[in-house]
Amino acid sequence: MTEPDIFSAVDGYISGLFAREDAALSCALQEMSAAGLPEISVSPVVGKFLYMLAKLARARRILEIGTLGGYSTTWLARALPPEGHLVTLELEARHAEVARANLARAGVAGRVEILVGPASASLRALAARHEPPFDLVFIDADKEGYVEYLDLSLRLARSGSVILADNTLRHGRVLDEGPLDPSARGIKAFNERIATDPRLDSLILPIIRGDLDGLSISIVL
Ligand code: SAH
Ligand code: DHB
Ligand code: MG
């Protein structure tokens, strides 16, 4: 097997054992595809991992930045206790509409609030609500915004909160020397921040999903 083949095979093996999609999740992907949304949801294995981390953190309040069609939202919302709450931020009204229907079908709409608009504005609006801190934050919107989303999320977190970010290796493009595209630059700046910020303990886990990418995990000290 060439490397990409063995990566896909292993990913399929793990998802077959541990991350099987139910009808609501597979239907969500079909609805997104039918609506012409980009096929950039997290993989089933990453979805299950987000769910496990939310359970490990005993998260009651989750913040997600980048909803798309609500696929990762569903995995995260399913990790919440019945009285839990998830706020998810999405720029595109069209994406939020698809997500709303998918979340209702998955039976988690009652626990999920979607805020439509630029994430930086929604994060500032959330700070103004003076609600209890979020236990877990998942950053997965435009890569240029990651550093700003981290700064704003820290204002909404507490000591012990977990901050996760998707796509932090970008097929290894963060290793490239020379000029980077804006999204790789955004990711690289984010990675350097979580590595050096004295308020955080962090790590990037390499993740295989056909291609190589990374999920960062930071604990707020
Ligand atoms: N977390 C989703 C995938 C998110 S894709 C999942 O795994 O299922 C990234 C999403 O971020 C897209 O829907 C895109 O519209 C949204 N986005 C891009 N820029 C944004 C911004 N400035 N503010 C909020 N959302 C943004
Ligand atoms: C892209 C964005 C994502 O969040 C992702 O997981 C994969 C790809 C993108 O913008 O290309
Ligand atoms: Mg992503």
| pLDDT digit string, tens, across residues 135-171 | 999 999 999 999 999 999 999 999 999 999 999 998 8
Query: Taking 80 as the threshold, does the pLDDT of residue 124 lie above it?
Result: yes
Q: How far is the CA of 144 from the centre of ligand 2 (A)?
A: 12
**Residue 1: band (very low, low, confident or very high) from pLDDT cuts 50, 70, 90:** low
Q: How many CA atoms lie within 13 A of 207 on its CB side?
A: 25
Question: Which residues approach ligand 2 with their CB closer than 6 A?
Answer: 40, 140, 166-167
Query: Taking 70 as the threshold, does the pLDDT of residue 26 lie above it?
Result: yes
- pLDDT of 187 reads 97
Ligand nearest to the CA of 47: 1
Asked if residues 152 and 139 have their Cβ atoms less than 8 Å apart, the reply is no
**Residue 132: band (very low, low, confident or very high) from pLDDT cuts 50, 70, 90:** very high
CA 97 to chain centre: 18
| Across 166-178, average pLDDT | 89
- Looking only at the bridges linking them, the beta strands covering 200-209 and 211-220 are antiparallel
